[in-house]
Each structure stands twice: as structure tokens, then as C-alpha cells.
Amino acid sequence: MSDNRYLETLYPSYGQSFAMEEVLFRAPTEHQELIIFKNERFGRVMALDGVIQTTEADEFIYHEMLTHVPILAHGNAKRVLIIGGGDGGILREVLRHESVEHVTQVEIDDQVIEMCKQYLPNHSNGAFDNPRAHIVIDDGKAFVMNCTEKFDVIISDCTDPIGPGEALFESDFYRGCKNCLTEGGVFVAQNGVPFMQPDEAETTKARLKPFFADRTFYCAPVPTYIGGVMSLAWASDNAELRQLSSEVIAERFAKAGFKTRYYTPAVHTGAFALPQFLIDRLDAVE
Ligand code: SAM
């Protein structure tokens, strides 16, 4: 990090940098290096271990797509499990669904939650205090491997597979998630930018195979997840859930009764149309 610029170090030979107008918080937590700073173009920005996690300006795209797609596709989600998501954006969007009665969020680093509440308050926007939200500080893999509760939708809003996030890309984690899903449940996860991290999607598809009949990805363009569209992993035992018409999705979305800034029923159904280079790579995986 040069004196007033933050250089993302996710890729050794390529990266983005942000002018830091003000550093709001910077310190190692028990698990990772956390920084939150102000940038004129993206607002408040949070990074963990050198990787941009979320910014005020573009967080809505990712948080809307990782929540409303599985919840509206499921159609009757009452219990949702969030793994990671310490900034609170996913929790905020899940709770907009009045039909969701209970959300458990398992986040490994309570300092991320506390600092984001303080310096990124618009992300959670009070969601952590919602009576329907139950926050657990734990490793997500350990939680799902020992959990006896069942959930209709599981959302893994994890970091990249480095440091504590690595556990959330392992087979045991996917096995645990399947065990925690109800019949007809849906699992989705952040799965990197395929143009920059091509093997991430392939590895995930292969590792999901023993546990889910239907495994694929859908896309969302998040400007500060650099290198192209981000792939979001999708797994369930019923392929029809991701093949619903935009009319059906539109009906459910209208009933949900809230406004979004990126998500629309047409974007929902279109997001499952993958670029050819990703299809080719995924077709090579069993
Ligand atoms: N949207 C971001 C992305 O796509 O990279 C991820 C945002 S969120 C900040 C990632 C969260 O995962 C962080 O709060 C981090 O502490 C949490 N996390 C990392 N490893 C974890 C683990 N093994 N169990 C639970 N939470 C974990």
C-alpha cells in the first residue's frame, strides 16, 4: 500500500488501486488484515487480506443477486443460512423478504461485523439487530458439519479461497451444506471471477457433484471484483428451480413488494446464461 493508495494484491501481475481519502480502520483481527477506507468514487471500501470485499457504491449488485435469485427461485424460503457476510449486506437483503422467518448468519470474525457496523453502517442498515436474525461467530465449515438445523436456502458470502475462506471451498463444507438443506433447498456461493480465476468454478462444480444433482453458475457484473463478471455457484436437486420463467419470477418478486437497484426478474433468468469460455471449461468437468 503506497502512502495514500490502496493496491489490491489478489493477482500478482494485475490489480486495481484506490486513492484513500481517509483510512477509517486498519488493523489485524484474530483472523485477517482488515481495512476500511474512504474513496471518492466508491465511497467506503472494505478489504480483507489485500482483497477488496465490498464498496458502498457497487455492493447492491452483488448482495441483490446472491439473495433474491435463490430466494425467489425457491419460492417458499422460510429459513435462510448465511455463511460469512460480515459486512451485513447479504443479511439486509435476505430480511427484505417478509416470508423469511429466520436467518442464521455464521461469520468467523466478529471484528469484521463490529467494524462494518461502525464504518459501513449502510451495508447492514440495522439488520444485525433484526429479531429474525441470529448471529453465530464460528467457522462456517465447522458449523455446517455439526449443524442439526435445516434451512431452505444457504448463501455462502465468503472471501476468496485464501486464509479462513479456504475452508468454504472444500468438499466437507459442501457436504455439510447439503446436510443442512431441506428437501428442495438451494445453495449459492460467491465463486470468483471466471476470466481471472477459471479453475475456481471448475473445482466447485466437481466438488459439489457428490451432493447435488444440479450444479451450475449464474453471473453478476460487480465493478470492484475486477476482470469481468463474477460467477455465483448454484446447487440444488431440482434443475427446474433455476429454469422458472421470468413471468413466474416476476409474480413472486411483485409479491415480495420491495424495490431493487440491480435485480429484475429478467436479469434473474438472464444471469444463468453463461459465456461460452466458461461453458467450455465447465463441460470438461463431470
Ligand atoms: N462479497 C465478498 C466477496 O465476494 O469476496 C465477501 C464479503 S464478506 C466480507 C466475506 C466474509 O467471509 C468476511 O466477513 C470473512 O470474515 C468471512 N469468512 C471468511 N472465512 C470464513 C469462514 N471459514 N467461516 C465464516 N466466515 C468466513
Are residues 46 and 68 located together in one domain of the fold? no
CA distances from 40 to 10, 21, 24, 156, 206 (A): 22, 7, 14, 30, 41
What does pTM read for this prediction? 0.97
Residue with the nearest Cα to atom 14 of ligand 1? 86
Are residues 44 and 66 located together in one domain of the fold? no
| Distance, CA of 136 to chain centre | 17
Are residues 133 and 49 located together in one domain of the fold? no
159 C-alpha to center of ligand 1: Å? 4
Are residues 48 and 66 located together in one domain of the fold? no
Count the domains in the chain: 2
- CB 85 near ligand 1, within 6 Å: yes
Q: Domain boundary residue among 35, 55, 75? A: 55
Alpha-carbon span 38 to 45, nearest angstrom: 6
Specify the CATH number for the domain of residue 38.
Answer: 2.30.140.10
- CB 58 near ligand 1, within 6 Å: no
The sheet carrying 151-157 orders its strands as: 133-137, 102-107, 79-84, 151-157, 181-190, 230-236, 214-220
Alpha-carbon span 189 to 69, nearest angstrom: 12
Set of cell numbers at residue 246: 421470468
- CB 112 near ligand 1, within 6 Å: yes
Specify the CATH number for the domain of residue 107.
Answer: 3.40.50.150
Query: What is residue 17's three-state secondary structure?
Result: strand
Are residues 158 and 169 located together in one domain of the fold? yes
Q: What is the pLDDT along the chain (286 residues), one digit of tens a residue?
A: 556 999 999 999 999 999 999 999 999 999 999 999 999 999 999 999 999 999 999 999 999 999 999 999 999 999 999 999 999 999 999 999 999 999 999 999 999 999 999 999 999 999 999 999 999 999 999 999 999 999 999 999 999 998 999 999 999 999 999 999 999 999 999 999 999 998 999 999 999 999 999 999 999 999 999 999 999 999 999 999 999 999 999 999 999 999 999 999 999 999 999 999 999 999 999 8
Are residues 12 and 147 located together in one domain of the fold? no
Q: Domain boundary residue among 55, 77, 94? A: 55
Are residues 63 and 42 located together in one domain of the fold? no
Cα angle for residues 145, 89, 94 (degrees, 5° grid): 70
With the most atoms of ligand 1 within 8 angstroms of its CB, the residue from 159, 166, 174, 219 to mutate is 159
Cα angle for residues 221, 218, 31 (degrees, 5° grid): 75
Domain ranges, residue 192: 58-284
The continuous run of DSSP H or E covering 236 comes out as: strand 230-236
